[in-house]
């Protein structure tokens, strides 16, 4: 039998990136896909676009476009693909300038008004919440989203790791809303939401709803959820025949909306941030007043925040505290020493400093002459 050999012509081999070829011994560049739940690989490497976004260059997608344009260099070699990972030892240049130092994680509370979308770019050209940020704020991203008609607390952060940690359902942070819905409902019907609902074929977590008051044809309801799926509150109340016409987020985990006016933004203090989410993300301690825009990364200290403890009895701090307490109560006590009259008022010398006494007091009378200590009276 005659066997014919066929020649199979495959696709041309892909071009090898010189930077990838130079770093072929790097285990993070062997094409292995990192796990989705790992913010950073075991070797400490990160995607180049992610590192640039953290430095405040642009968003990840925009950074990938900058890399395709050949404006990014790694260790002196022009990078031609965003599918590349770098470590802290690599030198990264953008437009022949080194990247700025990574700023410590920061979080802001923002009272989102109705009518703004939670997106950096909108296809319909609608105004975004990021267009309403102060000019001196660094580049931030939102923690989760709020619908265009929703309002209330929206957290902003300059760190993607913080945003991801706050958004994960396993964190267990409660999202609390106040909803005004058209229709009538009872508390018994609202309790049926504790079993959860199906959203696009995916079951949600338990939903706690409390009827606050029935105001005419509208009902005010407090809704608490943990996951925050797409339009979860509106869909949950819609299953009960209620149409939400106003939705206000009042809290997100430990962060409260409070009395923050609509459209205003306020930064969460660094010590409060460490106390509330320091167990989720490593947040370095920053001295008050050290933040100055994007250059605040140079004033960071990795020292942990230490809570002030009450001084123990017998310690120097305790003695000093009681000493201050005695000094504060000294004017109310009867001073000791010889009195001295000056300007119609009686003064007493205590420790070389005159202290004004209460009322007018006369000097003690001298004993009569001729009568000693043991004289008969």
> In a structure prediction context, what are the per-residue pLDDT tens digits for the chain, which is 377 residues long?
444 444 444 444 444 444 444 444 444 444 444 343 344 455 678 889 888 877 767 777 788 888 999 999 999 999 989 999 999 889 999 999 888 777 889 999 999 999 999 988 788 889 999 999 998 888 888 998 999 999 999 999 988 888 888 988 888 899 999 999 999 999 999 999 999 888 888 888 899 999 999 999 999 999 999 888 888 999 999 999 999 999 999 999 999 999 999 999 999 999 999 999 999 988 889 887 666 544 333 333 334 444 444 444 554 444 455 455 555 555 555 555 555 555 555 444 444 454 444 455 555 566 556 555 555 55
Q: What are phi and psi of 84, to 5 degrees?
A: -145, 145
What's the fold here for domain 18-98? 3.10.290
pLDDT at 22: 44
pLDDT at 46: 87
How far does CA 141 lie from the centroid of its chain? 12
How far does CA 80 lie from the centroid of its chain? 35
CA distance 162 to 144: 11
Q: What are phi and psi of 359, to 5 degrees?
A: 75, -175
Two tokens, residue 325: 């307490």
Domain locations in the chain as residue ranges = 18-98, 107-277
147, 200, 212, 271: which is the annotated catalytic residue? 147
The β-bridge partners of 225 are: 175
Residue ranges with strand state E in the chain: 46-47, 72-74, 77-78, 85-86, 92-94, 97-98, 107-112, 141-142, 151-157, 175-182, 198-199, 202-203, 208-215, 218-225, 243-252, 255-256, 265-267, 339-342, 345-350, 353-356
CA distance 26 to 40: 15
Whether the pTM exceeds 0.85: the reply is no
pLDDT at 316: 46
CA distance 371 to 354: 34
**Which residues touch 142 (CB under 8 Å, ≥6 apart)?**
118, 129, 154, 155, 156, 163
**Residue 180, SS3 per DSSP:** strand
Q: Return the CATH architecture of domain 107-277.
A: 2-Layer Sandwich (3.30)
Two tokens, residue 259: 């009395």
Find the angle CA(85)-CA(89)-CA(91) to the nearest 5 degrees.
Answer: 80
pLDDT at 185: 94
Of 161, 128, 158, the closest CA to residue 145 belongs to: 128
Check if 147 is active-site.
yes
How far does CA 259 lie from the centroid of its chain? 18
3-state secondary structure 215-275: ECCEEEEEEEECCCCCCHHHHHHHCCCCEEEEEEEEEECCEECCCCCCCCEEECCHHHHHH
Of 129, 116, 184, 138, the closest CA to residue 291 belongs to: 138
Strand-pair category, 345-350 with 339-342: antiparallel
Alpha helices in the chain (DSSP H): 18-22, 48-54, 60-68, 160-167, 187-191, 232-238, 270-277, 316-329
Query: Do residues 261 and 245 lie in contact, with contact meaning Cβ atoms separated by under 8 Å?
Result: no
């Amino acid at each position: 039998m005659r066997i014919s050999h066929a020649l199979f012509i495959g696709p041309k081999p892909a071009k090898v990136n010189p930077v990838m070829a130079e770093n072929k011994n790097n285990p993070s560049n062997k094409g292995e896909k990192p796990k989705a739940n790992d913010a950073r690989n075991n070797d400490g490497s990160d995607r180049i676009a992610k590192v640039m976004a953290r430095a405040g260059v642009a968003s990840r997608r925009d950074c990938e476009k900058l890399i395709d344009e050949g404006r990014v260099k790694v260790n002196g070699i022009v990078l031609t693909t965003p599918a590349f990972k770098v470590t802290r030892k690599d030198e990264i240049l953008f437009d022949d300038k080194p990247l700025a130092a990574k700023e410590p994680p920061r979080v802001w509370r923002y009272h989102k008004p109705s009518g703004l979308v939670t997106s950096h770019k909108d296809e319909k050209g609608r105004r975004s919440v990021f267009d309403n940020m102060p000019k001196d704020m660094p580049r931030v991203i939102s923690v989760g989203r709020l619908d265009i008609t929703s309002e209330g607390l929206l957290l902003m952060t300059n760190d993607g790791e913080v945003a991801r940690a706050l958004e994960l359902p396993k964190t267990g942070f409660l999202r609390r809303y106040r909803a005004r819905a058209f229709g009538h409902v009872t508390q018994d019907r609202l309790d049926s939401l504790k079993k959860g609902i199906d959203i696009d074929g995916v079951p949600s977590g338990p939903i706690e709803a409390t009827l606050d008051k029935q105001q005419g044809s509208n009902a005010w309801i407090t809704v608490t959820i943990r996951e925050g799926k797409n339009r979860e509150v509106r869909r949950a109340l819609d299953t009960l025949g209620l149409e939400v016409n106003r939705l206000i987020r009042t809290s997100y985990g430990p962060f409260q909306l409070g009395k923050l006016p609509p459209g205003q933004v306020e930064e969460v203090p660094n010590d409060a941030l460490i106390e509330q989410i320091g167990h989720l993300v490593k947040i370095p301690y920053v001295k008050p007043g050290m933040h100055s825009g994007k250059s605040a990364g140079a004033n960071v200290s990795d020292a942990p925040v230490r809570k002030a403890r009450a001084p123990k009895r017998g310690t120097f701090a305790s003695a000093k505290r009681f000493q201050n307490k005695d000094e504060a109560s000294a004017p109310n006590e009867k001073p000791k020493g010889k009195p001295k009259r000056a300007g119609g008022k009686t003064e007493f010398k205590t420790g070389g400093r005159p202290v004004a006494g209460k009322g007018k007091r006369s000097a003690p009378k001298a004993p009569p002459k001729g009568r000693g200590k043991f004289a008969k009276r």
